[in-house]
Amino acid sequence: MNILVLTAVFSAGIASAYDIPQNLQQIYNNHKSGKCNNKLAGGFTDGIGGATTFAYCGDINGAIFLHSLGNGGQYDNMDVDCDGANNHGGDCANDPSGQSQTAFMDSLPQYGIQDLDANVHPYVVFGNAGFDPQSYGMEPLSVMAVVCNNQLLYGIWGDTNGYDSTGEASIALAQMCYPNDGLTGDNGHGPDDVFYIGFTGNGAVPGGSADWQAGDRWTFEASIKDLGDRLVASLQA
């Protein structure tokens, strides 16, 4: 009985991570070592090293992504964010900097929740002091694509960073990307190989079609997958 249950849970986890479509893999490869020709804002760090080579780039039509020219071209890391509801719950118990609210909490009561829960909602921290993605067409609580650990996952633009650090996601998304790495509120993914893509326009906002009241991260992930797939399919390599 226990073996069957464990097998079912393991299989569900594997099924919830998606293969990278060919167009997105080509985009990942093409832009990693290339120069950002349409730099929207730069001078940011990855929150670990001191290099201020990280920038928000607009080279992909209809999208904004994080990129750095460091080390011959790279993307970003994945620090863990625990802000929002239940900010010290689960593996966020050791987070030294968790805050009790996220940037767009005022928009969430219409969906039946008071704020995002970092343990449930796979959200991305995107935008910094001096750079607001809304100025370039992104909408709060819109779907984002994240290429991590040689797979594709979707998240929500759910928070911002008030300083110069980039490359950050909720504990839910971090553990979905790297389930075997023991990530916690005080331990993230260091290598700068995570590709964060935000989509511009109202069409990227799931609104009430997302299961905001989901009881677990994979249920919420499933509720935004169809929209995420359409957004990724629209990207031109």
153 φ, ψ (degrees, to nearest 5): -135, 160
The model's pTM = 0.92
91's tokens? 């593996």
Per-residue pLDDT of the chain (237 residues; tens, 9 = 90+): 333 333 333 333 444 689 999 999 999 999 999 899 999 999 999 999 889 999 999 999 999 999 999 999 999 999 999 999 988 889 999 887 778 899 999 999 999 999 999 999 999 999 999 999 999 999 999 999 999 999 999 999 999 999 999 999 999 999 999 999 999 998 999 999 999 999 999 999 999 999 999 999 999 999 999 999 999 999 997
Please check whether residue 199 is in contact with residue 115, taking contact to mean a CB–CB distance below 8 angstroms.
Answer: no
How buried is residue 183: exposed, middle or buried, by Cβ count under 10 Å (0-12/13-18/19+)? buried
Taking Cα atoms as reference points, which of 57, 86, 52 lies closest to residue 70?
A: 52
Q: How far is 214 from 17, CA to CA, in rounded Å?
A: 18
